[in-house]
């Protein structure tokens, strides 16, 4: 188990799913100062209230990560409240569908605004404050296996996450002399409330879709948020040492493999 007693974290997209699972994991490992940011205000407030139940100082920050000023402001607001921010998780994402044939400019811009631009400027402000205050810091960008190509209906989403993968490595290079580490996790198909909504909205899924899909997976399940939360916690802790610029594939499918 990692020691997060000195961690002061901001989790963008922390109201549910993976972001919330990471918050829960950090708290279980000693973190007692944490902010979750999300545009889903009711869910965010409920999640923050739930997390405070263990006596932790949890700040909820309503924010749309597609708006640069709001993406940057979550770092400043958390730093004002806690005194500093030592850990950032960029977990917020827009997963709207679209292919190279039917994606509109408006949808393309929206997906990149949330997944790429918002994450970039949150990380920028996070690094600026850590450098100004003179302390080490760790960031984790939540990516996706689609950076390796992706499905036809995920063209702009795949592109946005591939761009964020490059940002992760470039930022790691730039910030390492300041002892700020930046890593990324390429998540596979994950069982989250957001995925359930996507399946019902875009793919006509019914109540039994999850069981049907999981029965066909190599390991009999979709990836679970708690699985990834453990890796994120490791990356955000001193246990990961000097690890930076790493992009970890976290899935049961193997990128580049073909059916035998």
Instruction: Give domain 8-188+224-246's CATH number out of 3.90.1150.10, 3.40.50.10070, 3.40.50.2300, 3.40.50.720.
Output: 3.40.50.720
Mean pLDDT to the nearest integer, 58-73: 98
Q: For residues 160 and 111, is the Cβ–Cβ distance under 8 A?
A: yes
pLDDT recorded at residue 259: 82
pLDDT band at 194, cuts 50/70/90?
confident
Residue 228 has pLDDT above 70, yes or no: yes
pLDDT recorded at residue 195: 87
Q: What is the pLDDT of residues 113-125, one digit of tens each?
A: 999 999 999 999 9
Residue 63 has pLDDT above 90, yes or no: yes
Packing angle of the helix pair 155-175, 119-133 (nearest 10 deg): 10
pLDDT recorded at residue 82: 98
pLDDT band at 2, cuts 50/70/90?
confident
Q: Give the H or E element holding residue 8.
A: strand 8-12
Residue 1 has pLDDT above 80, yes or no: no
157 is catalytic: yes
Mean pLDDT to the nearest integer, 127-156: 97
Name the active-site residue from 112, 120, 121, 157.
157
Q: For residues 31 and 111, is the Cβ–Cβ distance under 8 A?
A: no
What b/e sequence results for 42-72 when a residue is b if at least 16 CB atoms lie within 10 Å of its CB, and e otherwise?
ebbeebbeebeeeebebbbbebbbbbbebbb
Q: What is the pLDDT of residues 151-187, one digit of tens each?
A: 999 999 999 999 999 999 999 999 999 999 999 999 9
Q: What percent of the chain has pLDDT over 70?
A: 100
Classify residue 136 by burial, with Cβ atoms within 10 Å: 0-12, 13-18, 19+. Answer: exposed
pLDDT band at 140, cuts 50/70/90?
very high
Mean pLDDT to the nearest integer, 45-65: 96
Residue 20 has pLDDT above 80, yes or no: yes
Taking Cα atoms as reference points, which of 74, 114, 102 lies closest to residue 194?
A: 114
Give the domain ranges of the chain: 8-188+224-246, 193-222
Read off the pTM: 0.95
The residue to which tokens 């889903």 are assigned: 40
């Amino acid at each position: 188990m990692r020691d997060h007693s000195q961690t002061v974290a901001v989790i963008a997209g922390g109201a549910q799913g993976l972001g919330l699972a990471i918050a829960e994991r950090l708290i279980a490992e000693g973190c007692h100062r944490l902010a979750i940011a999300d545009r889903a205000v009711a869910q965010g407030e409920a999640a923050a209230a739930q997390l405070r139940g263990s006596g932790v100082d949890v700040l909820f920050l309503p924010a749309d990560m597609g708006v640069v000023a709001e993406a940057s402001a979550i770092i400043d607001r958390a730093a004002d409240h806690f005194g500093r921010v030592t850990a950032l998780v960029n977990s917020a994402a827009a997963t709207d569908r679209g292919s190279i044939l039917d994606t509109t400019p408006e949808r393309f811009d929206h997906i990149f605004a949330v997944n790429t631009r918002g994450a970039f400027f949150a990380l920028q402000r996070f690094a600026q404050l850590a450098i100004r205050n003179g302390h080490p810091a760790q960031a984790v960008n939540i990516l996706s296996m689609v950076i390796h190509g992706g499905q036809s209906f995920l063209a702009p989403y795949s592109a946005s996450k591939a761009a964020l993968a490059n940002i992760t490595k470039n930022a790691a290079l730039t910030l390492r002399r300041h002892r700020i580490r930046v890593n990324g996790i390429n998540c596979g198909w994950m069982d989250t409330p957001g995925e359930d909504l996507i399946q019902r909205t875009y793919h006509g899924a019914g109540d039994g879709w999850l069981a049907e899909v999981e029965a066909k997976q190599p390991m009999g399940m979709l990836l679970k948020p708690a699985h990834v939360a453990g890796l994120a916690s490791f990356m955000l802790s001193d246990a990961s040492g000097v690890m930076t610029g790493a992009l970890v594939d976290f899935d049961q499918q193997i990128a580049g493999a073909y059916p035998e």
